Structure formats: structure tokens, C-alpha cells
Amino acid sequence: MKTLRVALFLLCLGATRAAGAQEILSGPLSIAGGRVVIGTDVAIAFTPQDDTDGAWFNYTDYEHNALRLFRVAVNADVRVTDQISFLTEVRSENGNGVKPYALYVRVRPWRSRPIDIQAGRIPPTFGAFARREYGAGNPLIGYPLAYQYLTAVRPDAVPSSAEDVLRMRARGWRPSYPIGSLEIATGMPLITAFRWDTGAQVRVGPPSLNASVAVTNGTTSDPRTVDNNGGKQVAGRLEWRPSPAIVLGGSGATGAYVADAALASATLISGTAHSTQQALGFDAEISRDHWMVAGEFIWNRWQVPTIVQTLDATSGFVEGRYKLSPGFFVASRIDYLGFNELTSPLLGTRTWDAPVTRLEGGAGYYIRRNLLAKGTYQYNWRDGGLVRTLGLFAAQLHFWL
């Protein structure tokens, strides 16, 4: 309830300022001569369907329904010198306490050279969607499948055979396996948009052509504050902007994803310790006049120590946005997540998880410069699970400073 009161206060503050002035405050608060910049972000998403219905396709690794999500965030940028800054963001989702989302130091060793070094809980290196601003950076309310949909793979529990995996098809919200943790927990998406990893990142180059490399404790699907195994993830990204209207990017990542406790038991059974997640991604964005088109393609592979075959997944989406007027736009996204086949003597040959297709469309209206209302309709269908098709209406109000 306290978090709700804070959010309502911020929303009312923006509306009150708008009523008493020509324009509401449209940027973060700057103090100490600009050396400390504080901003906030409040978003309330709602769907008439209950959490059980939405969770079949929109459950997140924080165990929330992405279409029924109340998020409050406060961020700060503290510039110690012209070359050293501390950046942080804390968030609360659905009133479940306050959690650090970002906390890192940024160092620019040379003023005349475009090189940044960041350490701590750092921004993601892999992919394009997770690097966007929350809310305003997403023309819709739902998330691309690769960044949100939970698969049947867990970092703390391992299947003993292919049968174990196939029995968990379309059960990413509650997969369970006999090796490692026996507690009920969620599976992992290919890349999570809800958590940042901890490590160090180096970015070299101007905005027109830059490269980033990072070493982190977790992986793209399971970012970690504290490492839970003996391995690290290495991720890299190359981004090219041949013109202001075109952005092309490529990403790659590899790292150990199975926790030590589960891996030790699995190694005793199988005699191998292979537990690597590998991912490749390509993305593009083109904008002109009133429209923007963006898309990503992602390939992902999990090596499971107890299974000879790898668990592969591919995902791709294309989205578009068109501005009908300065304050009104329409948008849509077509999205697919597929899986390779796995053979079991008892269950035959099937994809190891149920392929999913998602279509989402809607509209947004800027009530004020930093107060955005959105409404969408999302339709999902997949080859498996208790619920195979589901349509969902959703609305969102987003306010930021």
C-alpha cells in the first residue's frame, strides 16, 4: 500500500503541475549544479483477466504478470568528477519491496576518447530491447517472447533424462526436476528484461559505431548479483548507425548457467560438467517521418550435463509504430519463439518446449509530454500446455521525470 500511495502521489503531482502551468516538468530533478540528477518512473498496467489467465503467457521471472504490473522506480546519476559517475536505480514491482535494479560506477579514462568502463550491476550488453527505456521505449505493453516468456529450463535444477524435459513442455511457470533444487520455481526466458547482471563492461567508439564487451556473474537468462557457479559470462555487442534513422546491431554471449549444487549432482550421474548457455542476436531499427520499424532475431542454446542433445531455441519479432498526430500513435508486434526437437524412448520426438506465437496491437496517447496512456490487445497461441490460445486486453498509464 505504501508503494501504491507513492505512485499515486507522483501521478497526481504531474497532473497538478500540468493544470497549473503550460507544461509539466518533463525532465529529472537536477541539484548541486547538475552533479546530482534524480528521476522517477511510475507505470501501472492492468488487464481485466485475472493473474492466472495472464500468467500462462505473460508470467515473468519475478513471478508477476507482465500485463498486470505496477512498477515504481527512482534513479540517480551522481557525477563525482567529469570522468567518474555513480548511477543507480531502485524499483518496486506490485508492492513487493524495493530492489536494486542498477548500481554501477562509470569511468571515462580519457576525455578526448570515446571509451567508457562500467562496473557493478551494469546495463545489459546483449540485445536491443532490454537496453530501451522502460515504458516509453516499448510502444506496446507486453514484452517480446525472448525477453519474458518462461521456458522449462532452470538454473538450479537439472533433468535426469529427455523424458523429464518433455514432461515440462509449456510449464515454464513451474518446471520441476529431480536433480538439484526440489523447490518449485520458475524457468528462465532466453534473455530477461527484468534484471541486470553484475560485472564489468567496456564500451569503445562513438554512437555511430561502437563495440561493448562485458564479463558478468550470471547469463542473459539468469543475471546474478553473486556468482552461483565457477564460471563467468562473456558478452559482446557491435552497433552501427549509418544514419540517424538506421540502427543495426549484433550481439553474442556465452557463460555457465547451472548452479554449483545442481551441477555437482548432475556431474556424478553423467560424468560431464557441460552447462553453458550460448546466444547470438541480430537487431535493426529504421525510422522515417511518422513511422518506425524494429526487429530482432535471437538464437539460444543451453547445454544440459545429463542430456546428450542440446536445448536450442530461436525467437524473432518485428514491431512497428506509426504517429497519427503529435500525441497519438498506433503500434503492433508479431512475435515467435520456437524450439528444437528432443527424442525420448518413452515419449517419442517432439520439440522440447511448446512453440509460441504472439500478436499484439494497440495505441498510445501522450496526455502530457511525460504522461502516456496505452491500450493493447494481445493474442497468444502455442503447441502445448493446458491453455493453448489466449486473448488479453490491457491498459497502461506511464509517468516519468
- The CATH number of the domain holding residue 220 is 2.40.160.10
Distance from C-alpha of 1 to C-alpha of 325, rounded to nearest angstrom: 37
Predicted local confidence at residue 207, as pLDDT: 93
Q: Write the pLDDT tens digit of every residue in 6-63.
A: 444 444 444 444 444 444 556 789 998 889 999 999 999 999 876 555 567 999 988 8
* Beta-ladder partners of 92: 72
Residue 222 has pLDDT above 80, yes or no: yes
Q: Write the pLDDT tens digit of every residue in 107-154.
A: 999 989 999 999 999 999 999 998 887 656 899 999 999 999 999 999
Predicted local confidence at residue 63, as pLDDT: 85
Lowest mean pLDDT among 9-13, 205-209, 220-224, 309-313: 9-13
Predicted local confidence at residue 328, as pLDDT: 97
Predicted local confidence at residue 50, as pLDDT: 67
Contact between 73 and 101 (Cβ < 8 Å): yes
317 φ, ψ to 5°?
A: -145, 155
What are the grid coordinates assigned to 399, written together? 509517468
Contact between 124 and 197 (Cβ < 8 Å): yes
Q: CB within 8 A of 388, min separation 6: which ones?
A: 381, 382
Average pLDDT over residues 156-181: 94
Predicted local confidence at residue 18, as pLDDT: 41
Average pLDDT over residues 346-353: 94
Q: CB within 8 A of 105, min separation 6: which ones?
A: 84, 85, 86, 87, 118, 119, 120
What are the grid coordinates assigned to 65, written together? 504478470
Mean pLDDT score of the chain: 90
Contact between 127 and 283 (Cβ < 8 Å): yes
Q: Using 50, 70 and 90 to split pLDDT, how confident is the model at 274? A: confident
Domain of residue 267 covers 2-400
Lowest mean pLDDT among 4-13, 189-198, 206-215, 329-338: 4-13
Residue 365 has pLDDT above 90, yes or no: yes
Q: How many independent structural domains does the chain possess?
A: 1
Predicted local confidence at residue 15, as pLDDT: 42
141 φ, ψ to 5°?
A: -105, -40
Lowest mean pLDDT among 22-36, 278-292, 349-363: 22-36
Q: Write the pLDDT tens digit of every residue in 55-98.
A: 679 999 888 899 999 999 999 999 999 999 999 999 999 988 89
Strand 29-31 relative to strand 276-288, pairing: unpaired
Strand 198-204 relative to strand 84-93, pairing: unpaired
Distance from C-alpha of 241 to C-alpha of 223, rounded to nearest angstrom: 28
Q: Taking Cα atoms as reference points, which of 247, 252, 133 lies closest to residue 191?
A: 252
pTM of the model: 0.90
Lowest mean pLDDT among 61-65, 288-292, 332-336, 341-345: 61-65
Q: What is residue 109's DSSP assignment?
A: S
Q: What is residue 264's DSSP assignment?
A: H
- Looking at this protein, which amino acid is placed at residue 185? A
What are the grid coordinates assigned to 42, written together? 511510475
Q: Work out the percent of the chain whose per-residue pLDDT is above 90.
A: 77
Lowest mean pLDDT among 189-203, 208-222, 269-283: 269-283
Strands (DSSP E) found in 108-232: 115-121, 157-158, 179-180, 198-204, 209-216
Strand 99-107 relative to strand 209-216, pairing: unpaired
